[in-house]
Amino acid sequence: MSAIIRRDPFRSLSSWINDFDEAIFQRGLKVRDTEKDIVVEAVVAGVKPSDVDIDIEDGVVTIKAHVSEEKKEKEEYSSLNYQYYYTTALSGGAWDKAEAEVENGVVKITIPKTEASRPRKISVKAK
């Protein structure tokens, strides 16, 4: 007697999506939503704060960080260039009040939420 096995074609797709989400996190970008702020963190290891560019336009946050290094040894030049580039779309932020800082190789952008996007507690009355 053979058993009937039910096949779920979307199971492998779901697994792939979970792996993709983890890859984005491992890539170095993390977005958190707190009660009052939207917090975006990105890895920019080895990059000076002056070499980190952040643009926010219509809720799209773009972080660029680059390192260029040239060395001259015995009439030979060597250079190192690398760049981080992150983009994420967000909603509900007061974009003009965003602040950013770099600490321990991570840039942290704090964007206050607008009053309209903050959670509210609504009381329920009996009728």
The first and second tokens of residue 60, run together, are 């799209």
Q: Tell me the residue type at 16.
A: W
pLDDT at 19: 45
Please tell me the pTM assigned to this model. Answer: 0.63
Which pair of structure tokens corresponds to residue 120?
């509210």
CATH class of the structural domain 31-115: mainly beta
Tens of pLDDT, residues 43-74: 888 888 888 889 888 888 888 888 777 777 77
Strand partners, 107: 42, 102
Q: Which residue, among 95, 111, 101, has the nearest Cα to 32 in the 3D structure? A: 111
Residue 97's pLDDT band (cuts 50, 70, 90): very high
Domain ranges of the chain: 31-115
